[in-house]
Structure 1
Amino acid sequence: MDTKMQPQLLFFDIDGTLLSNVTHQIPESALNAIAAAQKNGHLAFINTGRTFRTMPAFLKDLGFDGFLCGCGTRIVCHGETLLAHSLSEEERSRIIDLIKEWQIEAFLEGSEDVYCQRSDYRQKVMNIVRASFNKKGLGLSKFIEDRNFVFDKFVFVSDNPANSDAFIRRITSFIDVIDRGKGMYECVPKGFSKASAMQLLSEHLNISMDNTWAFGDSSNDLPMFEVAAHGIAMGDHSSVLEPFSEMITDTVDNDGIAKALSHFGLI
């Protein structure tokens, strides 16, 4: 495939795609390969469910052409913010009311901070994640019970299927709910996704969606794979990506990014 004449748009998920789940770093092979692709005239973007605030800070200094964050709720290209969408005051209030009513354990993610409940969570995993946020200076400014903050999306982990099912039924009119497995749900304003962000960026840059490449590993990458011309699933990946994958490359730790970019002649 000769892709050198036309710029290609490369979209990378973070965890399990760029970042090793073992070392929590980007392998040097991936960094070098992405830089080589950019030198060939292609553009590289991070496309993540994380908000810009909760994305690892070091990723912002690695030379990416932009960031598609919060499942499409914020788009930054070459330092310019193309889109920044938050839930409305009415939507935010409704969500917090329902969280209380159905005893849902959630993290509310905004552009300024991530917001946790004031008391300890019932679930050990939630307290572990909260501690990791706190270590990075996140989740300390305000609490869910305070209500007077803005957020873009949220995640919750269920330890009560009946309650979580009831909660989901009451938000699906204005929220798209992504089942991440193991009782974890990612909740995004309707109409926003990793795919919608790719399409908006494609229009902004006047580069056809025929020239788009999605690199991912998990179920929330599915919208990205559905619209990309080329889907590259990492070695460890959710099976939902396979029908939309042009290639299953190696794992991130075994140079999967570099191998895929080389295989398709992007470097």
Structure 2
Amino acid sequence: MSSIIFFDIDGTLVTEDERAIIPDSTREAIKKTREKGNITFINSGRTAFNISPRVKELGFDGYICGCGTYIEYNGDVILSSTIEKKKCREIAELMRECNVTPVYEHSEGYFFDDKAPMTDGLKYFMEVFVDSGIDVTGRVEDNNFGFDKFVIWVNPKSDMEKFRKEIGKDFSIIDRGDGFFENVPLGFSKATGIQHILNKLNIPIENAYAIGDSANDLPMLEAVPNSIAMGGAEVIYPYVSYITTPIEENGIANALSHFGLI
């Protein structure tokens, strides 16, 4: 029976720096494992529109995006969860009251709030988006405003007590460090995305593999018995079954070779 492999993007498939290198060995390894009949999936916190063509060109059978809020397989959307419009408006108003800086993430685009404080984090994100050709014109006032998940940056004047109390009712609040928080609707995660696909494709859990490089990959890594940490990702070493070499030292190829997937 075919195996299925779930890949994180940044720091796993693509170097997490301005070079954004995809090693040739990674390209070849993904090609070989698919030729062997194995199934490959992206599993990312990024929403669907923000999976770059360079990543897609590697060759994937499907995509789990937005921390499990969107799933695509063989070109068909099989799950898409967007928060109800009225609720989106209420959350946007609440974020203003909490004095935090949000970016609202939809499967088809991003939305920003010009009334929110500008932060170094947001400034950097927008510069990266512009350099990548991503549209940054969406605003909360737009008629089509809506989102699947959202992130925030905090500042010394942010009301985090109110934020946690209200947002915690409906979202998992993930502390990404340095005052940056990712907020995912309850019931969705990289792990739920994996389970949805395994059930749909009738693949046993022992044939599932996941590869990541950071703490936000833990739900994905802990959802499968064959979990792989990229070399250099010491923070997740205690939670995985195999540690491969760093990304630029044939990390993906070595991992797939170790498990007989190529």
TM-score for both structures, normalised by structure 2: 0.93
Residue deviations 1:190-238, cap 9 Å, x none? 1001000100001111111221111001122111111112110111326
The structural deviation recorded for 1:117 is 1.9
Aligned with 1:138 (options 121, 135, 138) = 135
What letter matches 1:80 in structure 2? D
Return 56-65 or 198-207, whichever deviates more.
Answer: 56-65
Matched, 1:43 2:43: no
Matched, 1:80 2:76: yes
**CA, structure 1 residues 247+76, in 2 after alignment: closer, same or farther (shift >3 Å)?**
same
What letter matches 2:92 in structure 1? I
Alignment of 1:71-150 (within 5 A): 71-118=67-114, 121-135=117-131, 136-140=133-137, 142-146=138-142, 148-150=144-146
Counterparts of 2:223 and 2:121, CA distance in 1: 33
Alignment of 1:106-255 (within 5 A): 106-118=102-114, 121-135=117-131, 136-140=133-137, 142-146=138-142, 148-160=144-156, 163-237=159-233, 239=235, 241-255=236-250
* Match in the other structure for 1:54: 50
User: What SS class does the counterpart of residue 214 from structure 1 fall into?
Assistant: strand
**CA, structure 1 residues 96+238, in 2 after alignment: closer, same or farther (shift >3 Å)?**
farther
User: What SS class does the counterpart of residue 139 from structure 1 fall into?
Assistant: coil
Q: Which runs of 4+ in 1 moved over 6 A?
A: none
Q: Which runs of 5+ in 1 are unaligned?
A: 1-5
Residue deviations 1:35-85, cap 9 Å, x none? 111111111111000001122132223221111100001101111111011
* Match in the other structure for 1:7: 2
Count of residue correspondences: 260
**CA, structure 1 residues 185+238, in 2 after alignment: closer, same or farther (shift >3 Å)?**
farther
Counterparts of 1:86 and 1:233, CA distance in 2: 31
**CA, structure 1 residues 46+189, in 2 after alignment: closer, same or farther (shift >3 Å)?**
same
**CA, structure 1 residues 243+222, in 2 after alignment: closer, same or farther (shift >3 Å)?**
same
Counterparts of 1:130 and 1:97, CA distance in 2: 22
Q: Which runs of 5+ in 2 are unaligned?
A: none
**CA, structure 1 residues 131+209, in 2 after alignment: closer, same or farther (shift >3 Å)?**
same
Over the aligned positions, Cα root-mean-square deviation in angstroms equals 1.8
What letter matches 2:178 in structure 1? K
The structural deviation recorded for 1:257 is 0.7
Counterparts of 2:157 and 2:99, CA distance in 1: 11
Counterparts of 1:155 and 1:75, CA distance in 2: 20
The structural deviation recorded for 1:137 is 3.5
User: What SS class does the counterpart of residue 262 from structure 1 fall into?
Assistant: helix
Counterparts of 2:157 and 2:66, CA distance in 1: 25
Counterparts of 2:23 and 2:175, CA distance in 1: 28
Residue deviations 1:132-152, cap 9 Å, x none? 223413221x31244741211
What letter matches 1:198 in structure 2? I
Residue deviations 1:87-114, cap 9 Å, x none? 1223312210111101110110112210
User: Does the CA contact (< 8 Å) of 1:96 and 1:147 recur in 2?
Assistant: no
User: What SS class does the counterpart of residue 97 from structure 1 fall into?
Assistant: helix
User: What SS class does the counterpart of residue 199 from structure 2 fall into?
Assistant: helix
The structural deviation recorded for 1:162 is 5.5
* Match in the other structure for 1:3: none
